[in-house]
Structure formats: structure tokens, C-alpha cells
Amino acid sequence: MKLPIRWLKDYIDISVDGKTLADDLTLSGSKVEGLENPFDVIQNVVTSKIQKIEAHPEADKLVVCTIDINQEEPIVIVTAATNMKEGDVVPVALHNSTLWEGVSIKKGKLRGIVSNGMFCSEEELGLNEKGTCDGLMIMPEDTEIGVDIKEALGLNGGILDLEITSNRPDCLSILGLARETRAMYETPLKKPSLTYHPIPSDVEPVKVSLETPLARRYMAREIVDVTIGESPEWIKARLLEAGVRPVNNMVDLTNFVMLETGQPLHAFDKREITSGIIRVTEAKGGEKFTTLDENERTLKEKTLLINDDKTIIGIAGIMGGLDSEIKEDTTRVILESANFDGVTTRNASSYLNLRTEASTRFDKDIDPNLAELAMNRICHLIETLEIGKVLDYTVDVYNEKREPNHLEVPVSYINGFLGTEISEERMVKILNDLEISTDVKEGILTIETPTFRNDLLIKEDIAEEIARIYGYNNIEATIPHVNAPRGGRYPHQILRRKLEEYLVAQGLYESISYSFISRKDLDKVLIPEDSSLRDMVEIRNPLGEDFSVMRTSMLSSMMESLSRNEARSNDEAYLYEIGKVYLKTENVLPEEKEMLTIGMYGKDLFFHLKGIVEVIADEFALKNVSFRRSDNPFFHPGKSADILLGKKVLGSFGEVHPRVLANYNMDEASYVLEMDLLTLYDSADLERKYTEIPKYPSVTRDIAVLVDDAVLVQEMENIFRKQGGNLLESFTLFDVYKGTQLPEGKKSVAYNLVYRNKERTLTDKEVNKVHDKIVRTLEHVLGATLR
């Protein structure tokens, strides 16, 4: 938002310089990006009055002009211009002057006659675009002679460039910023006049139909006897300083009022509204429309359109159509002052790549009540500048009128919240200066917020308004008094912390990886094509193909870490990672599942990895932990196992399949574990109970049996648990042997079994009975032979 300081002073009387104003606005919350005056480049250009025009004696296309610049002697200017006459007031660049874009002018001879400078056009003063001017700039007859052209045109004073946040669309206007300035300096605000005198007419009013809830309000008035021409210099100067190019008086007034009030306006040539009805509709998609910038655009669904019955005449909130623009011979105009949904306008502006001053305001959800203010203001200016006559009808279709918000805020709360001692009178003054209607009674502020401040919803918002105008620099730094109990960790956080301690104690180092991967990573870890893990959450704006989806397995992340370590010549690696995988669900958001992954290489580590699982099971007091062969294709067949917790699968581990190693260019045999931590946490028990030291002795028996290679020790241990009953206290595997002394396809497995009765000393007969039962079951179920 560009704020010309001279324009601001039309509404508020301030004497501070531009730098001070910029600093104060920034401190009050309206961030000023810069202070500039683009017309400072123009030097030594003054207003002059042509006294005499004579033909050049040596050139048919040149004339010699004697001009008055309010000095003792008139001076001579030689020019080829033809659009001036004696008595005209024109700008003249004198000797050693500088024009727009830094062009230097010096006096010199033109065909034998000295010219003391050069007459200027609007283009040469930066007041119009190149190629749009046909001759010299002719100024009003009552213009003072001999004054600096910047002073005559109101181009001095500087321009502030502000960054307006999305919650303050009211500051996208000169009046809005004048309101802020009034509150800062506590000076009166001079509001613009809104009065006008409509003329009676029997013309049938134009009809308006809002056929979508995305159009909140639409006002229309008709102007007749319109005379299209140039705007007064003061209007053009204000627009140019604000960065808007003048077009003609009617279009310029719509832009002037938009910049002044923050409400976009549009003027239609009534000849193009042949049906007498204006309809606001939504595009169906695929329609073609040529906008004012002469570009044909293809419209998408939900784009808001202004229609003359069935013909599109404008894209609502963005730009009008080429056919309905104001022309030189336009005599009747329909003025539009409307309000449209901000999100819809922003989306349309984005896909059309068409950002205008109007869309900048609409996409921030400006106040629908501004429409009437802006309509009255432009009608006043049309009447004052005698551009046309306003008919006595107004069409106003207003759906769901925006109402003020009401709040009650204790004065003590605001001072306590800010750490200040601001009086209630000062608070009321600040809020009322911001046009936030406020009364105070018994220490309670009763507040009605204006509809243009839709960001004031809670008491903290009111405290912020008071703080920023009172001055953050005037608020002393204080230490807040906070009485809050210290929160503890959630049960799952405690369990995770314990798990990390156990893993580190086992010699593992933590690895951290991205949660997003490539679909190709699933191929590298041999995830089957029909696996649900391939139904992945896609990232809308990925960093690249390698980070385009959210991972459903952490195996690829761990393999990347292991391969990176091997590539850097690390002889061994022992890593763990606790992270999340993201599984699609029927809901909008995926299921975020916390997983543990362990990866290692360096030697034969299968049983080392199994030992870590057993440590975890012991530390978390997991019950009914068992193992079975795994059919996961990621692992080497016969060198992997699933971890069971009762009937639930807790995870799996084993040696990585050689094909996977090849996909990651690894030579070392690697071992990986993946475990579902939610299942672990839900089954964990950190409570420890005291157990007495046994009073009675134990009985130890060794057992060695010959079984088939295919028999798992897990199957033998299941028999120990079931047949050992309460007397079998523990069992330990101490030998597995295969060799030439044994038959082919057989192995010897030896266990140490400990029996004990907690109530009394066991007899050999009791022990033999249970031990023999175990042996017989091994023989019967597993075909074992006692050695």
C-alpha cells in the first residue's frame, strides 16, 4: 500500500516529517517498508505563462514563445509544439533542469535563436505513460506563475510504502491510515464529504440478481449526462503518487475513491447492459472472456462473474470486460459498489495470474458496509467536478448484513495483561480514536467494534489495540507472574525415554531421517506390489521425486543410513531410530504409527539382535513373548523371525536379503529390526514388585535331545513352559551342536532346567515326574530322541 503523505494531510493535520511518521506507524503496527519521493528527480521546472507566439524566421516547424515566469524579464523558448496558444499556462524546464528519468535540459540555439529551456509534456514529467501524450501539458488558467511544478501539482511530501497484514484490510485505504494516524497523534480527523443531490427521473432502474452466496452485497447507481475527459490535476497527482495511472475522469474517480476508502468500484458503459439486469453468477468452467487488458482468459468453476443477462461483462472483484469499459463517447454509466467472498476472489486472481488493486482488497474480506460509503463519496465527487448527474435511485442487494461485535473488558484485565497502569480515560480515548465505540462504567469497558475491524473478537485483541497506540516503547519490561504446576511426561513419553536408555546401553547410536521418501525406495526394500504399504500419502509440494511421499515403512530409511556408513569406510555400525510411518485411512489425515528400527553390520549379529529384543522384553516386563519364522521378503530366508506378543505381531528382525544389500551397494551382511512401539507401550509394565529370596533349594537337570534341523528351539521352549508347570522355575539353552557324529539333518540341543518349590524342599520323585513328562512330550510332539 502506497501512502502519499500530501494525500494523508487532506484528512489529518500533522506537522511531523516523513521519517518520523514512518517510524511511528511502524511502532503502532503498520509496518513501513520504505519512504520515497519519485518526483524528487524533477528539478528547476516551473510554471510559465505564454505572452507571445511568433513564427521562427528560419524554420517552418518551430515557433518562438515569449513567456513569463514571474521574473523581471521574460524569457524565450523555441518549440515545435502546436497545441498551445497565447495566455496558456505550461510547465517549462529552465537551463540546468532535470526531467523524469533523469533527462537533463540546457539552453541552446535552435536555428539561430537561443532557447532558454524546453516546454514539458505530461510524459516528460512522469505524469503519463510514454507515447500517450500529443503535446504540451496545459495547466489551469489560475495556476500561479513561476512556482516549482512539483508544488503546483502537489507532488512533494514523500510516499510511504506499507506492508499491510491480511487481518487489517481497513488499512488498505488512505482513510484507514488517517484513522491510525489520528489515534497516534490525538488530532482531529477530517472525513470526506458524502453529500450529493440526485435528480429525479422516470428511468427504469437497473435490476440486480445475486445468484450465488459468494456475492455478499451489490449496489448500483446510474449517472447520466456524463462528459468523459481528463481528470483535474489534483486527482491525477494523487493517483500517480499512489502508483495508479490516470485514464479518464470517470475511471480515475473510481480508482481515487477505492484508494481513499478501501472499497473497489467499477463503472460500466450502460449501452453494454442491454437487458437492464446485472446478474452475479459462478462460472461453470471453460468460458472465454476478454478483460480490460485485452487478454482473453479461460475461466474455471466457482469464478464469480458479472453478467448482463447471459453476456459476461466482468470478473467480479478483479477486472471488468473490454466491451463494457468507459469510452470517449460514453454518456450514461452504471456505478458498481459491491462485496465478494475473499477466498473465491483470491483463488480466481491466482489461477488467472491477474492481481489488481481491487482483488488485493477483496481477497482480504473487506467490510460489506464500505460499499455505501464509497458509493456516496464518488457521487459527491461526480457532482462536484460536474462530470455527470446522479439519478435518484439506488439498487442495493445485501445478504447477511455484517453486524458489529460487542465486548466487555475490565480495565484491570488490560493493565494486568500488559503490565501497565493506563487510566481508563486514556483507554477510552485510544479506542474511540480508532472508531471502536467504547464507554466505561465501574471499571468495565463496554465496546462495540466497527464492522471494518472484523479482527477484534476477544479481550486480548482489545488489549493489543491499546498497547500499540499507547506505544510498546512506553511499556516497561516486567517479569510475568505465572503460577502453573510443572507438567510431567505422558505414559508413552516415559516409556519411550526408557526405551532409548536401554538401546543406548546396548551400544546403539541414534539415527534421524526424513519422514518422506520416494516410491522407488519401496522397490529397493522388496515391498510386494500388492502390499497395502504401497498406498502412500503424497506430498503436494515435494522437494523432488526423492521426497514425494510419506513413508509407510522405516526399512528404507535405515538401509540408507547403513549404506552411508559403509560407503564412508566405517567398519561397523550399530544404529537405532524411533520415528513415525504414515498409513492411509478413510479419514482425511493418515494414521501416524510410531516405530523402532535397529540396523547393524560388522559381524554375525543375528543373535545379538535377538538378545536386544530379549532385553527389551525383560525391561518392559512383556509377557508371552515368542518367535516364529518370518516370511518378510526384506529378510534373508531362514535367517529372520517375527516377534510375537501373545497372538499380536510386535515386529520382525533378521539378516537383510542379499538383493536388498545389492540395491544399496552394500557388501557387509546387515541385520535390521522393525518394531511397532504402540503395541510395545500398551503391553509394557514398568511396575516392579519385591520378591523374596527363595528359602528352599533348587534342583537342576540338564537335558540334551536329538531333533530335526527344522525344529525350532522356540517349539521346545513352549513344551517346557506348558509341561513344567509351577515347578519349572527357569530354563537356559547352553548348546546347539551339528557335526559328523550326528545323523544328517539332525542337531543336538541342550538345555539347563531349574526346578523349585517355594513352599518346601523338592523330592527326586516330584522332579522326575515333571522332567519325564517333558521328555515324553518332546519325543511325541517333536520326534526328539534323548541323548
pTM for this model (two decimals): 0.61
pLDDT reported for residue 233: 83
Q: Which amino acid is at 514?
A: Y
For the chain, domains (ranges, CATH) are 2-37+158-185 (3.30.56.10), 39-153 (2.40.50.140), 207-398 (3.50.40.10), 405-474 (3.30.56.10), 491-683 (3.30.930.10), 699-786 (3.30.70.380)
Three cell numbers, residue 578? 524411533
Question: Contact at 8 Å (CB) between 357 and 265?
Answer: no
Q: How far is CA 57 from CA 62, 64, 110, 118, 509, in A?
A: 9, 9, 11, 19, 97
Evaluate if residue 378 carries a pLDDT over 90: yes
Pick the closest to residue 533 from 515, 554, 512, 548 (CA basis): 554
Question: Contact at 8 Å (CB) between 739 and 746?
Answer: no
Evaluate if residue 676 carries a pLDDT over 80: yes
Question: Contact at 8 Å (CB) between 422 and 416?
Answer: no
DSSP state of 207: E
Residue 603 φ/ψ region, left for φ over 0, alpha for ψ in the -120 to 50 degree band, beta for the rest: beta
Q: Please tell me the distance from the alpha carbon of residue 657 to that of residue 561, in angstroms, as a whole number.
A: 16
pLDDT confidence tier of residue 366, bands split at 50, 70 and 90: very high
Biggest CA–CA distance in the chain, Å, is 146
Q: How far is CA 311 from CA 220, 324, 467, 576, in A?
A: 18, 11, 52, 66
Question: Contact at 8 Å (CB) between 317 and 347?
Answer: no
Evaluate if residue 310 carries a pLDDT over 90: no
Question: Contact at 8 Å (CB) between 441 and 409?
Answer: no
Three cell numbers, residue 201? 427521473
Question: Contact at 8 Å (CB) between 519 and 535?
Answer: no
Known binding-site positions: 455, 461, 464-465
- What lies within 8 Å, CB to CB, of 296 at 6+ separation is 288, 289, 290
Evaluate if residue 178 carries a pLDDT over 90: yes
Three cell numbers, residue 776? 515324553
Three cell numbers, residue 388? 455527470
3-state secondary structure (DSSP) of residue 59 = coil
pLDDT reported for residue 128: 75
The 3-class secondary structure across 509-538, one letter per residue, is EECCCCCEECCHHHHHCCCCCCCHHHCCCE
For 250-282, the DSSP string reads HHHHHHHHHHHHS--EEEEEGGG-TTSEEEEEE
Question: Contact at 8 Å (CB) between 157 and 132?
Answer: no
Q: Which helix (H) or strand (E) holds 350?
A: helix 342-352
Torsion of CA 769, 775, 779, 782, to 10 degrees: 120
Question: Contact at 8 Å (CB) between 92 and 107?
Answer: no
Q: Please tell me the distance from the alpha carbon of residue 556 to that of residue 677, in angstroms, as a whole number.
A: 18
Q: What is the pLDDT of residues 133-156, one digit of tens each?
A: 778 999 988 899 999 998 888 777
What integer best gives the mean pLDDT of the chain? 91
Three cell numbers, residue 701? 537337570
pLDDT reported for residue 560: 95
Q: How far is CA 620 from CA 415, 624, 664, 679, in A?
A: 52, 12, 34, 12
Name which of 279-283, 477-481, 505-509, 575-579 the model is least confident about.
Answer: 477-481
Pick the closest to residue 634 from 518, 525, 522, 523 (CA basis): 525
pLDDT confidence tier of residue 415, bands split at 50, 70 and 90: very high
Distance of CA 29 to the CA centre of its chain: 20
pLDDT reported for residue 356: 92
Segment 376-384 shows an average pLDDT of 97
pLDDT reported for residue 638: 84
Helical ranges in 620-745 per DSSP H: 658-663, 677-683, 713-724
Handedness of CA 256, 258, 259, 260 (dihedral sign): positive
Segment 30-51 shows an average pLDDT of 91
Q: Which amino acid is at 560?
A: E
**Other CB atoms within 10 Å distance of the CB of residue 175:** 24
Q: Which amino acid is at 404?
A: P
- Angle, alpha carbons 44-50-53 (nearest 5°): 125
Three cell numbers, residue 610? 535377538
The residue assigned the cell 477505492 is 258
Strands lying side by side in the sheet with 437-441: 405-410, 444-449, 437-441
Phi/psi of residue 195, nearest 5 degrees:
-80, 145
**Strands 573-583 and 509-510, bridge-based pairing:** parallel
pLDDT reported for residue 154: 72
Q: What is the pLDDT of residues 189-212, one digit of tens each?
A: 999 999 999 999 888 899 999 999
Q: What is the pLDDT of residues 79-89, one digit of tens each?
A: 999 999 999 99
Residues in the chain: 787
Q: 3-state SS of the chain: helix, strand, coil percent to 5? A: 30, 30, 40
Q: Please tell me the distance from the alpha carbon of residue 535 to that of residue 552, in angstroms, as a whole number.
A: 8
Q: What is the pLDDT of residues 747-771, one digit of tens each?
A: 999 999 999 998 899 898 999 999 9
Pick the closest to residue 433 from 12, 8, 32, 10 (CA basis): 12
Distance of CA 650 to the CA centre of its chain: 40
Q: Please tell me the distance from the alpha carbon of residue 201 to that of residue 293, in angstroms, as a whole number.
A: 35
Please state at what angle helix 249-261 crosses helix 233-241, rounded to 10 degrees: 50
Known binding-site positions for Mg(2+): 455, 461, 464-465
Three cell numbers, residue 738? 551339528
Q: Please tell me the distance from the alpha carbon of residue 216 to that of residue 398, in angstroms, as a whole number.
A: 6
Question: Contact at 8 Å (CB) between 562 and 601?
Answer: yes
Evaluate if residue 349 carries a pLDDT over 80: yes
Three cell numbers, residue 216? 455478499
Three cell numbers, residue 214? 459468494
Question: Contact at 8 Å (CB) between 199 and 391?
Answer: yes
Q: Please tell me the distance from the alpha carbon of residue 440 to that of residue 183, in angstroms, as a whole number.
A: 18
Q: Please tell me the distance from the alpha carbon of residue 499 to that of residue 502, in angstroms, as a whole number.
A: 5
Q: Which amino acid is at 450?
A: P
Please state at what angle helix 764-782 crosses helix 713-724, rounded to 10 degrees: 140
- What lies within 8 Å, CB to CB, of 384 at 6+ separation is none
3-state secondary structure (DSSP) of residue 46 = strand
pLDDT confidence tier of residue 275, bands split at 50, 70 and 90: confident
Q: Report the DSSP beta bridge partners of residue 54.
A: 64
Q: Please tell me the distance from the alpha carbon of residue 751 to that of residue 756, in angstroms, as a whole number.
A: 16
Q: Report the DSSP beta bridge partners of residue 754.
A: 700, 730
pLDDT reported for residue 623: 86
Q: What is the pLDDT of residues 542-567, one digit of tens each?
A: 888 888 999 999 999 999 999 999 99
Q: Please tell me the distance from the alpha carbon of residue 182 to that of residue 310, in angstroms, as a whole number.
A: 47
pLDDT reported for residue 135: 87
Helical ranges in 568-676 per DSSP H: 606-619, 658-663
Residue 642 φ/ψ region, left for φ over 0, alpha for ψ in the -120 to 50 degree band, beta for the rest: beta
Handedness of CA 191, 194, 195, 196 (dihedral sign): positive
Q: What is the pLDDT of residues 617-661, one digit of tens each?
A: 999 989 888 888 899 999 998 899 999 998 899 999 999 999 999
